[in-house]
Amino acid sequence: MGSKLENLSGSNSLPNLDNLSLEEQVAQMVVVRASGYLFDHQIQYPDWEPPAKQLQHWLQDLGVGGVILVGGSAGEVAIRSQQMQGWAKVPLFIAADIEEGVGQRFTSATWFPPPMAIGAVAAQDPQKAELYATKMGAVTAQEALAIGINWIFGPVVDVNNNPQNPVINVRAFGETSAVVSQLATSFIRGTQQYPVLTTAKHFPGHGDTATDSHLELPVIPHSLSRLAEVELPPFEAAIASGVDAVMTAHLLIPAWDEQYPATLSRQVLTQLLREKLGFEGLIVTDALVMGAIANQYGADEAPVMAVEAGADVVVMPVSPEGTIQAICQAVTTGRISRERIRASVKRIWQAKAKISGELETQASIGSDSGKNLISNSVLQLSQPSALTTVANILQDSQKIGGSVSLPLEPPKHNEQFYNLIVVDDALTCDFLGRNAPAVVLPRQLGYQLRLIDNHTPLVSQDLSDSGLEQPTLLQIFVRCNPFRERIGLTPLAENFLNKLLKKNNLQALVIYGSPYILEQFQPDLPSIIPYVYSYGQMPEAQMIALNVLLAQATPVDTVKPFI
């Protein structure tokens, strides 16, 4: 491993890169997805996450350049990243979509509220919001490195100016270029205290869409002047602040290219991003298995087109081996020049040189002297100062209305109160278990739980109407949901809200997630009905929101939701 790190330190000289064969150079341009869990039987998405033998073959034999991890605990990922670095020919990029902190993807680490929560704070106190964004970036970088992740696929710098956007939504810092630019650069500044890579996404702007590019190809019909005024400034700000990579968007923008989506467009990636905006870092594609690309272009053709367009790194191609072969064939036939491949690998080498100290640390974990590094690094997670920042962001961005708290006594012997929770998919809710505050706090007051999700049969939903005859606390969890064509469970949630209002049995409403749902419901909500809205969905958000509602019924210091 030492010689490989020496090559990285000398990455500015082309001869080091020439020591790699064409196939090895192209393999460095590929990032594959893998499960963060340690064992094959724990794999959650077998269509995308290979078993250990397959992954080892890709890293050890093919020399694939990086991995994007999903799932598992922070402790598991620390071991997993060390295992993969041990397999690799050249030290790996280990990436993750941790836009809301490491805890968003890997349990036990700090989970921040969505970026739009900080944008809401900025509306009242821009300076405080900048501090929050900077702290969020610093904590995310520190905790990422603690478990072996060296590439943050964030921040999102899309301007979410379309309330119907099903895939960006609260992932954006805000609805204006100014707010997004301000907070995204603050986040990047926070990460720069640590040797970790950052990524501005999704170029050239995925905020004004009502189509999920995981499923179909969205079209942005705006003029060049409008794109220059709204979509591009946050990317320009991120580039000026030193962001390491820019991730492409699977969007068709006719003003720039009438034929190809941005990910496959030379006009967008090379002429606009590389030449006009002067970006010198890594251009990385969004996942090539997404429907906007996979449904219209061949599994092997799409990566070739992306490289032709100007991409340095292709993420999650349908077939890593097929991708490497196809790109090499394109070079052999003269479709892509060897100089073009070398330029991308040189940028990859420069990025890996930036994180070489961390890579050397990861390499030492397997040694006797490094056995305690994993346990010591995991102890850096979820520090009190980080958790305090999370709580402060949640409190400062929270919206309340009506009578604020519930002036109620616990139900008498012959009474029933219901805690109706409406959630998109209970099977995938890592924030909603039997010990979650949304379940436990109302239960301590005598509320009976009713849980409805998208899998609840319609007949069961109809039968549950009988429960709406009783006083009900309605809690709705809804935010952007990739691969689901729409933004959450609005029709189902709206149905229950309207029925409760009609029967005059809605005690209070709590919405976790999208602020646009609150805006949709507010016109029909009587002014006396207390409500709380939180950008976050995690247990901390539930605790803070419900303590506002239940303050009079249950003192905060008596609540013990985690058993």
Residues 104-141 pLDDT 10s: 999 999 999 999 999 999 999 999 999 999 999 999 99
Q: Which of 97, 158, 208, 286 is catalytic?
A: 286
Homologous superfamily in CATH for domain 26-375: Glycoside hydrolase, family 3, N-terminal domain (3.20.20.300)
DSSP 153-173: ---B------TT-SSSGGGSS
Average pLDDT value for the chain: 87
Distance CA(413)–CA(421), nearest Å, equals 23
Q: Which two tokens stand for residue 15?
A: 């001869």
Among residues 454, 545, 487, the alpha carbon closest in space to that of 210 is found at 487
Q: Which tens digits make up the pLDDT trace of 411-463?
A: 666 678 899 999 888 888 889 988 999 999 999 888 999 998 877 776 455 54
Q: Which residue has the higher pLDDT, 265 or 457?
A: 265
Which residues are bridge partners to 452 per DSSP?
422
Q: Which of 158, 214, 257, 312 is catalytic?
A: 214
Residue 179: is its pLDDT beyond 60? yes
Distance CA(293)–CA(208), nearest Å, equals 19
Among residues 183, 215, 182, 184, the alpha carbon closest in space to that of 202 is found at 184
Q: Coil, strand, or helix at residue 422?
A: strand
Q: Is 214 a catalytic residue?
A: yes
Residue 521: is its pLDDT beyond 80? yes
Q: Which two tokens stand for residue 498?
A: 């309207």
Residue 3: is its pLDDT beyond 60? no
Among residues 284, 377, 359, the alpha carbon closest in space to that of 77 is found at 377
Question: How much of the chain, in percent, has pLDDT values that exceed 70?
Answer: 85
Q: Is 97 a catalytic residue?
A: no
Residue 364: is its pLDDT beyond 80? no
Question: Is the domain defined by 398-558 classed in CATH 3.40.50.10870?
Answer: yes
Listed by start position, the domains of the chain span 26-375, 398-558
Among residues 48, 31, 30, the alpha carbon closest in space to that of 289 is found at 48
Q: What are phi and psi of 386, to 5 degrees?
A: -65, -45
H or E stretch including 461? helix 458-463
Residue 363: is its pLDDT beyond 60? no
Average pLDDT over residues 394-401: 96
